[in-house]
């Protein structure tokens, strides 16, 4: 837990017990997750404190937010390198509803018309994942 505390502090998040527990529950995930996923994993925790913690992690660039069209807000781990915090491509499976992080794929840049200022980009590829194709 010590390392987790340091990691959070480095990202400007004061490491409280709740935050460290939530971070421990998410830090090794390679797929996007929703609030309900975490609730199931941590039934002893209060839903609203998990939610607030996730929001805080997003604000401090520890997580990315994804709207994958399943109607549930999802989150995934930021694995950005360097100072650039840009979302990566996601793949949502229409059969199992899982959203995979394709962290090696960078979202192509779009040249916007003059006057439009981008703040975030989402790039979701929809289809069938390898596990569901079998």
124 in contact with Zn ion (CB under 5 A): no
80 in contact with Zn ion (CB under 5 A): yes
Between CA 29 and CA 7 the distance in angstroms is 16
93 in contact with Zn ion (CB under 5 A): yes
**Residue 106 or 132 with smaller CB distance to Zn ion:** 132
76 in contact with Zn ion (CB under 5 A): yes
27 in contact with Zn ion (CB under 5 A): no
Rg (CA), the chain: 16
Q: Which of 123, 42, 11, 2 is nearest to 51 (CA)?
A: 42
- Among the listed residues 24, 27, 85, 126, the single contact to Zn ion using CB under 5 A: 85
89 in contact with Zn ion (CB under 5 A): no
- Among the listed residues 1, 9, 95, 106, the single contact to Zn ion using CB under 5 A: 95
* Interface with Zn ion in residues 36-65 (CB under 5 A): none
Q: Are 35 and 54 in contact (CB under 8 A)?
A: yes
What is the length of the chain? 134
Helical residues (DSSP H) of 1-134, grouped into ranges: 2-10, 17-26, 35-41, 47-59, 130-133
- Among the listed residues 1, 9, 96, 125, the single contact to Zn ion using CB under 5 A: 96
CB of 28 to Zn ion, least distance (A): 14
The HSE-up count of residue 52 (CA atoms within 13 Å, CB side) is 9
The count of residues interacting with Zn ion (CB under 5 A) is: 10
């Amino acid at each position: 837990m010590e390392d987790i505390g340091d990691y959070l502090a480095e990202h400007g998040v004061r490491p409280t017990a709740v935050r460290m527990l939530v971070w421990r529950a998410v830090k090794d995930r390679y797929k996007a997750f929703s609030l309900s996923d975490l609730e199931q994993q941590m039934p002893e925790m209060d839903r609203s404190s998990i939610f607030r913690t996730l929001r805080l992690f997003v604000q401090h660039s520890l997580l990315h937010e994804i709207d994958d069209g399943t109607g549930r807000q999802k989150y995934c781990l930021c694995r950005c390198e360097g100072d650039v915090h840009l979302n990566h491509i996601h793949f949502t499976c229409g059969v199992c509803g899982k959203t995979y992080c394709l962290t090696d794929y960078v979202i192509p840049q779009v040249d916007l018309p003059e006057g439009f200022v981008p703040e975030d980009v989402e790039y979701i590829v929809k289809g069938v994942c390898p596990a569901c194709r079998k």
